Structure 1
């Protein structure tokens, strides 16, 4: 049996979620291949070939694949799907967009958001916002899987020497087209890949206070900034900073939650963090139940004090 990992990349480099997915694939079967589908993506294919544990990289290059349109990427996967027992996608926006299309075309059940591999056909995944873990077994000939990166260690990005095989890119399906993108550039680390995250909640009270309290601490720590859903809904922070079941799933080395009560949907997105620090003046706040360190204090006093000391 051989597993195929669909690389998440920007045509120049491989994104970190792919490394976690490779680890999950290796736990499923012995041989792991990686598909890099894009335009002028030779650099990304070369980077994929260096990932430890990868036996082969399949490089599909063409204009139809440039922007990662789900219909075209799915068609590219389906063109080679017959060679694989497992097809794994990172549980990113791109992976979640393509995987259901592949599963539907193969007429198999998708296995979503796995966090552990118990065997070639048996996997664990969180349900009920992470309050329970389901063990699922698939009898399908081809397993189509999305992998929650926080559940697996990242494979080493170097040390491999996989062969790169070039295949023809599929034709444009014509079902969708790329119009444009607005990409926010920041010196901060990407939220899902950051080692330290400082998050703010509704208790901050306003966008101005959010920036005034959270940003200096994040700057001192070289951290990414996150926010609870309540803070995002109130307009204190942009949507792309939301951490939680309906936002981004993170597992940094250090997660500092400031004024976040700890609703179930937020905990589902960050409780796998290695060290969790909670600052909240409510001693009954649910966030304290998952925190390694809790500080019962007024965040408007405690956070600036922390920032000054660092």
Structure 2
């Protein structure tokens, strides 16, 4: 994609200069010129009173129809304070699986600075290539600069699949990149598979309020883009590989961005850490009341576990929002998940289905939660949990 100016017809009125939020247009010999920091936003196209500026997409669209050009699986990493978000490594595990089925390379894309000494360490997560975009200003997240750099990388390299963490940052830049590329994007996926014959990415996510699981594909569009919430996939087994590292220097300056970071205020550390918990005790409507959650708290204490709940428990103010698990809450994958009084609605299941072991306690033998539980106890949780607590205490005292 590019901005095209019909120089012969340009009158030098400067309307485009005034409209450009990036200062990426100058007048030279009374003719408008596009500068390298152009972000392809298209503001100048709309501002031109004589319509001599166009946003040229035709070349890429023509190339895009021949999807055979697109090969490879990319994972785009994000970082904060020079630390890569764990979801990138989780996606590398799934990306490796997809890349193997498609017989293509897996690539990690990093935008930032001061990662030189860490690149070798990253190689143990299974990728074949690392694309490292070095730019001092990208030590912090600038949406427009991220979008510009990623778009250019995609146009130059043509990956067929791009995986991005469904974090606040990923949810910001992923749709912007997809729009620029006229690519398909599926947000908040809970499952990813690939058809090796058609090379279509099968992207599964809840829809219609979580009542339906839809599988989405974009057969005529490349790249195929998907965002995935942290915790959907586990960290991959570490396996050292020979990695090809390609570095690109992008000389962005602060003035190249329409935004300016004045101050970064870190969120106060939350003592609730569901994503990293090894054991979680979760309650649903069947717990009965806020007061009844005390017994679940006692069970969590003997297990040294985190306490959590379904959406309804938060809506009823039985638990604080940071403890909600499910489609509109946290996604977790502990070693042990104890579901107490939880029916097993799909909205909750998508947030905990990757737990290693699931134990369900519910007095309704037909509750859907038993369909996915490894162990099920049918009965009143208020009678079962006190006995369970005492037995665990007894075992601990004998150790």
- TM-score, normalised via structure 1 length: 0.81
1:48 aligns with 2:122: yes
CA distance in 1, matches of 2:287, 2:94: 39
What residue in structure 1 maps to residue 167 of structure 2? 92
CA distance in 2, matches of 1:77, 1:285: 46
Give the alignment's Cα RMSD to 1 decimal.
3.2
CA distance in 2, matches of 1:205, 1:275: 25
* Residues 252-261 or 129-138, more deviating: 129-138
CA distance in 2, matches of 1:16, 1:33: 16
Paired residues, what number? 306
Aligned pairs for 1:160-171 within 5 A: 160-162=241-243, 163=245, 165=247, 167-168=249-250, 170-171=252-253
- Say which SS state the counterpart of residue 191 (structure 1) adopts: coil
- Provide closer, same or farther for how the CA distance between residues 285 and 166 of structure 1 changes in structure 2, counting only shifts above 3 A: same
Larger radius of gyration: 2
Q: Which runs of 5+ in 2 are unaligned?
A: 1-70, 393-399
CA distance in 2, matches of 1:216, 1:157: 36
What residue in structure 1 maps to residue 94 of structure 2? 24
1:123 aligns with 2:186: no
* Residues 97-106 or 155-164, more deviating: 155-164
1:136 aligns with 2:217: yes
Give CA-to-partner distance per residue, 1:249-276, whole Å, 9 cap, x none: 3343322112223233112322343432
Q: Would the aligned equivalents of 1:118 and 1:124 in 2 still touch at CA under 8 Å? A: no
Q: CA deviation at 1:43?
A: 6.2
Q: Would the aligned equivalents of 1:108 and 1:140 in 2 still touch at CA under 8 Å? A: yes
What residue in structure 2 maps to residue 199 of structure 1? 282
- Provide closer, same or farther for how the CA distance between residues 285 and 180 of structure 1 changes in structure 2, counting only shifts above 3 A: same
- Say which SS state the counterpart of residue 325 (structure 2) adopts: coil
Aligned pairs for 1:44-83 within 5 A: 45-66=119-140, 68-82=141-155, 83=157
CA distance in 1, matches of 2:84, 2:235: 12
- Provide closer, same or farther for how the CA distance between residues 8 and 224 of structure 1 changes in structure 2, counting only shifts above 3 A: farther
CA distance in 1, matches of 2:321, 2:118: 29
Larger relative contact order, structure 1 or 2 (CA cutoff 8 Å, min sep 6): 1
CA distance in 2, matches of 1:293, 1:4: 38
- Provide closer, same or farther for how the CA distance between residues 24 and 228 of structure 1 changes in structure 2, counting only shifts above 3 A: same
CA distance in 1, matches of 2:370, 2:298: 24
Give CA-to-partner distance per residue, 1:66-95, whole Å, 9 cap, x none: 2x3544433332232221323221233432
Q: CA deviation at 1:158?
A: 5.0
What residue in structure 2 maps to residue 174 of structure 1? 258
CA distance in 2, matches of 1:13, 1:304: 42
- Provide closer, same or farther for how the CA distance between residues 141 and 17 of structure 1 changes in structure 2, counting only shifts above 3 A: same
- Say which SS state the counterpart of residue 245 (structure 1) adopts: coil
